[in-house]
Amino acid sequence: MTDTTVPITQKKDWSTDQEVRWCPGCGDYSILTAVQMLLPDLGVRRENTVFVSGIGCSSRFPYYMNTYGVHSIHGRAPAIATGIAVARPDLDVWVITGDGDGLSIGGNHFIHALRRNVNLTILLFNNQIYGLTKGQYSPTSEVGKVTKSTPFGSVDTPFNPISLALGAEATFVARTHDLDRKHMMETIRRAHEHRGAAFVEIYQNCNVFNDGAFEEILGKEVRGSMLIPLVDGQPIRFGDRCVVMQPDGRLRICAVDEVGEDALLVHDEKREPAGLAFQLSRLASGPHEPTPVGVFRAVERPTYDEMVQGQLLSAQERQGPGELTALLASGGTWEVE
């Protein structure tokens, strides 16, 4: 009989003996610690866990996890992780990426992994800069950002990763940040528990090339008035302000006293149409305005690996096991019954 009992582990069991090589003070340390502290509570085995990354500061992550890991090709981590998840649906597959790796050269792979609903947990570290290559602007850098590659200021409209994920029909979309370990761990836990493509954007400070990018919303003295917590089934309020839906269907931030408690919008993360979650993702035009954090959307849909495996089983039941040699020797056309 196979022993299905998951051994009890601690953070140290998920950590390797490799020297963690990020700049002192980098937000990546906080994310790494949060994941290593969370994994012992998830009921998973190290030998059944795979971390796949692309290229960038965040992509060093697999070296520091005492699991299987793939430090793959720039931007292609979602594609490689998709292959692993489909071939081995028994494995626990994570993707670690950054705003440059995941949204620039890897943007196509990112959106297709989400729309296919591959059973992956994708963590995107967003510091709004290219850190590994020493400070060029990234797909999430704000307009006017002066960097080594944009000496006169960026003219590109930045991506909103949450909006992008929702537009790609991701079934789980959330945001957290590197300065609140409790919130980060709970958000990542929720993502891992979700069956399908789970995406978490993590605001992460690059203290060398983009220090203080999120200070206007994450500074200790302003968090209470600048972070909008999204809690399923609860009215959306922060401090003495709230979010309401206007008669024309648009969302607005206003004072609670101005509209009254009954007017507050109640968050519904299980709402199947993504439109309202998309509106919430557009409340802030950047990390200098009140910004929602938490789970925007969490809905159920058949996963890509389940559907592929279902097709294979159905074909085997109808036609029996396939013959690779016969397939290779066959002509250029074939019939499917």
Distance CA 202, CA 57 (A): 14
- The domain spanning residue 285 has which CATH number? 3.40.50.970
Residues 123 and 257 in one domain: no
Distance CA 172, CA 277 (A): 11
Residues 122 and 247 in one domain: no
The per-residue pLDDT for 317 is 80
Residues 213 and 257 in one domain: no
Give, to the nearest 10 degrees, the angle between helix 28-38 and helix 181-193: 50
Spatial contact of 38 and 189, defined as CB atoms under 8 Å apart: yes
SS3 of residue 322 by DSSP: coil
Burial class (CB in 10 A: 0-12, 13-18, 19+), 248: exposed
Distance CA 5, CA 12 (A): 20
Residues 109 and 90 in one domain: yes
The per-residue pLDDT for 3 is 60
The per-residue pLDDT for 273 is 96
Burial class (CB in 10 A: 0-12, 13-18, 19+), 32: buried
What are the DSSP calls for 91-112, one per residue?
SEEEEEEEHHIIIIITHHHHHH
Which mean pLDDT values do the consecutive 10-residue runs of the chain (337 residues) have? 77 96 96 98 96 97 98 97 96 97 96 98 98 95 96 97 98 98 98 98 97 96 96 97 96 96 97 97 96 98 93 82 77 70
The per-residue pLDDT for 321 is 76
**Which region, left, alpha or beta, applies to residue 153 given φ > 0 means left and ψ of -120 to 50 means alpha?**
left
Query: Is residue 115 assigned to a domain?
Result: yes
**Beta-strand pair 291-298/172-177:** antiparallel
Residue span of the structural domain in which 139 resides: 11-232+267-305
Query: Is residue 310 assigned to a domain?
Result: no
Query: Is residue 84 assigned to a domain?
Result: yes
Query: Is residue 6 assigned to a domain?
Result: no
The per-residue pLDDT for 123 is 98
For the full predicted model, state whether its pTM sits above 0.85: yes
Query: Is residue 317 assigned to a domain?
Result: no
Query: Is the alpha carbon torsion for 42, 166, 301, 266 positive or negative?
Result: positive
Report helix, strand and coil shares of the chain as percent, to nearest 5. 35, 20, 45
Q: How many CB atoms lie within 10 A of CB 130?
A: 26
Spatial contact of 191 and 108, defined as CB atoms under 8 Å apart: no
Residues 251 and 280 in one domain: no
Query: Is residue 318 assigned to a domain?
Result: no
Residues 261 and 124 in one domain: no
- Total structural domains within the chain: 2
Query: Is residue 5 assigned to a domain?
Result: no
Residues 240 and 104 in one domain: no
Q: Cα-Cα-Cα-Cα dihedral of 162, 56, 85, 49, to 10°?
A: -110
Tokens 């006169």 correspond to what residue? 152
